[in-house]
Amino acid sequence: MVQFIHSMKKILLSLFICFQINAYSQCLTDHIQKQAELQYPSILSEKLNFYNNIQQFSNLSRATKYIIPVVFHVIHTNGPENISQAQIENQIKILNEDFSLTNSNKSAIRAPFVNIASDCQIEFRLAKIDPQGNCTNGINRIFNSGHLDARDEVKSIPNARWPNTKYLNIWVVSSIKENGSTGGTTLGYAYLPSSIGAVGSGQDGIVMRSDWLGVIGTGTVSGAGRTLTHEVGHYLGLLHTFQDGCDATNDYCGDTPPVASTFTNAGCPGTGNSCSNDNPNLIDQWENYMDYSSGACQSMFSANQKIIMHNALTTYSFRKNMVSSVNLIATGVTDVGNAPKAFFNSSARTVCVGELVSFYDNSCAGIVNSRSWQFPGSNTTSTNKDTPRIVYNTPGKYKVTLMATNNAGSNTLAVDNYIEVLPNVSPNKPTIQQGFENANWNVSTGWTVLDQLTSKLTVTSSVAFSGSKCLYAPISSAITDGQKFQLVVPSVDLRNLKTTGKLSMMLAYTRQNSASQERLRVYMSKGCSNTNWVLILNRSASQISYSTSAFTTTFQPVDKTQWKMISVSLSPYENDSNINFMIEIESGSGNAVYIDDINISQFNTDINLLEKSINLNVFPNPTSQNLTIQYQNLVGETEIWLENIEGKKIDVISENNTQTGDIAINWSSNNFIPTGVYILKIKANEQVISKKIIFAN
């Protein structure tokens, strides 16, 4: 019989943010626990009541297993955090192996623990019906910048939470916010079951880093899939094996020997025994999923842990309802003999010619016994495979049809223009320019605003660097820090540029104060699907501001001195025939950011445009031995020199000039310059302008 010790010290561990890395992550338990206890003091008494009333079972084996419907809310902005269906299915497979003791490494369980290693009789299935009664694949993709430095706020993103009485909610993010007092990396966290306040509803579930789900795709760390196994243990009421150190009753399980500290078993020591006060005195059970040992070493839940998890599924009404037969039917994870409702999705909706695209049958309402797919325009026009992989060799938009059938009937879903196939070589060649003057600038042009939020990149006619319009991110005190405003540039074939290509733009911005944290980023993505954006430029608020000392509560540029040129070299991609770029502005308690005259070419901007923007004037021309050079310096250093027609520098007129505003230079040559044609060059705002000068003596 398991001895469940009444200890208030234990119950203080009412809330867990826990994570597992091979050796050296940190736990934020105390920080989060105090927050929850301050807001909901009754959490403590509820947990105490749960552990004091654990029901023992005369027979640890149930006639049927518990089935838990699962939904993964993938929060993303089209980066690597938007993991594939295959990676999520791989994680579900790992969960089911671990909770049923069918994991491949169970044979490595050491002798003292073989007889207590347990089939927990718990199975996890991706939901097949969503809360509105529609078919789903159990993956809810939400475009939102909340995937960065996520915490509980991610659970309040619109449409990113399903009822916790029906589904295990798992939020997939790219990173989890750390507590400032600790180091390490948080990989996931879960609340213990509770019916109190938001902890019992809006916060119930698990937050996980995308790159620690499964062991395929981005889940490349050995044993990474065990992190979610660990977090589900907390979700079902389990504590750490190292809880309270060598207190023999640390986790309310008599069959898990106490462990001295968090990372005692990081290296999975063969005969390690960090505590000797348990009776009998056993070696540490680093095989247990609730330790912080390496995921590759972990291989078991104990019999006592199974009892606690089963109690959690029967004691708490929301857990009890979730595993009820009525809910299993409502969420589509069990069959009741109905005809299926056809539904499908795919690994991509936009692909290049010759690129593989996988299709998934996600039909619901009834188990599919057979299926018939139709893929007109592809290399496989029809098939009955479960998950066909299809190739399209001709650009165009194509219909996809699925007929799902069982003994009770059949149903067909046909979607016109479901797949868009693009050529491997982009039809767009430099120069590509955008000044936002045309009202239909983003209609079937490849220029795409990705923001799916109320506040998004918008064209304004109030200001512009050139013309009468520009694009701006309407950042103000009403905009949440971290919101991203994103613009995708049309695909481009860079191979025909004669010199190094550049992506440039004019940008106007200044900070509200020194704490403002707006950022400009530029990403690139090769191919057609734009699902793997790679960062190539990252500029801070001070770097994009037209002045490091100018602050204002609200900002709108009033003249060209408040615009700054931003340029990115495209030399790493000069051999790419199909490449996209994305411009991103991130809010950070500052001001609106204005963008104009985006340009992809061998120049930073159109030369004539830049020449006009700095109001360059050189006279007299022709001249004898002197020149007057007038221009407006927007920001940064300027240099001016004179070259002969062979490109040899013959005189430096001005260098390292940091003066801004209206500039006038009266120059006379120190040496006689023979009659002929010469080139005056001025470098300003990262662009070199050439001006032909005739010397006539």
Catalytic residues: 231
Helices marked H in 443-497: none
Task: Kindly write down the DSSP assignment for every residue of 290-357, as one continuous string.
Answer: TSSS-TTT--B-BHHHHHHHHHHHHHSHHHHHHTSHHHHHHTTSS--SPPPB--EEES-SEEETT-EE
CA gap 321, 324 in Å, rounded:
5
CB 365, CB 129: distance < 8 Å: yes
Whether the bond between 622 and the residue before it is cis, its omega within 30 degrees of 0, is: yes
CB 449, CB 473: distance < 8 Å: no
Closest CA to 188 of 168, 213, 169, 159: 213
**Cα–Cα separations (whole angstroms), residue 674 to 246, 624, 625, 695:** 92, 9, 9, 7
CA gap 201, 236 in Å, rounded:
15
Partners of residue 572 on adjacent β-strands: none
**Cα–Cα separations (whole angstroms), residue 537 to 479, 570, 644:** 23, 11, 36
CB atoms within 10 A of CB 577: 16
Q: Is 351 exposed, middle or buried (0-12, 13-18, 19+ CB in 10 A)?
A: buried
Gap between the terminal Cα atoms of the chain: 110
**Consecutive H or E run containing 534:** strand 534-539
Closest CA to 628 of 682, 670, 667, 586: 667
Closest CA to 308 of 93, 52, 112, 98: 52
* Length of the chain counted residue by residue: 697
Residue 37 sits at φ, ψ, to 5 deg, of: -65, -35
